[in-house]
Amino acid sequence: MRPTRSRLTRALGLLGLTAALALVAAAPAVAGSASTTFATNLTVTTSCGASAAPVAFPALGLMTATSGFTTATTTGNINLDCTVATPVTIALTALDGSNPSGILSGPGGAQIRYFMFQDSAMTKPWGSGTAAQQLTSIAGTLPVPVYFEITTASDLGYASSNKPAAPGAYTGTVSVSASY
């Protein structure tokens, strides 16, 4: 019995050796190796974007001081998005060219004047040129509030042009310019 086991062991050993030699013969020959490096570069440029949603005033009744109407206010946001810390100047100009006010146009050519401000106390007019808002550094997204006012009183040296207006919808447009 022993001789059989010995022959089996030898046969398995030869089979294993043959398989190992076949694997070595199948592997590609390596003559050497080489390596290198390369540089990666990226330039981040200064870039800003601006967006704004429509602004709506509350519904108004008769617009006279004797009716009890004195002011109507609302707030909107200009959303600035800049790639890196960037100083930005924001100028607002109403489509009719007014600065720092605009006109809402309604039925039959009726008009209602509104004013734009940089502060909630409505003491700092917002427009273009010297009335533009200077922001020292914006990085990422920043909502910048704009305060709007309709009034029957004389404000900021402007004579009020708001008189009783025709009922209906009134619209206007404000142009936003963000310089960086």
Residue 147: how many other CB atoms lie within 10 Å: 19
Q: How far apart are the first and last CA of the chain?
A: 96
Residue 118: how many other CB atoms lie within 10 Å: 22
Which CATH number, 3.40.50.300, 2.60.40.1090, 1.10.8.10, 3.40.50.10490, labels domain 48-179? 2.60.40.1090
Give the pLDDT of the chain (180 residues) as one tens digit per residue: 555 556 656 655 655 555 555 555 555 677 899 999 999 998 888 889 999 999 999 887 766 556 666 688 999 999 999 988 889 999 998 876 666 888 888 888 888 888 899 999 999 998 888 888 999 888 888 999 999 998 765 443 334 455 556 788 989 999 899 998
Beta-bridge partner residues of 71: 151
CA-wise closest residue to 106 among 173, 171, 174? 171
d(CA 53, CA 174) in angstroms, rounded, equals 11
Residue-level pLDDT at 157: 37
Interacting residues of 146 by C-beta distance below 8 A, sequence separation 6+: 55, 75, 76, 77, 78, 92, 116, 117, 118, 126, 174
* Strand runs labelled E in 6-152: 48-52, 71-94, 101-105, 111-117, 133-151
Interacting residues of 29 by C-beta distance below 8 A, sequence separation 6+: none
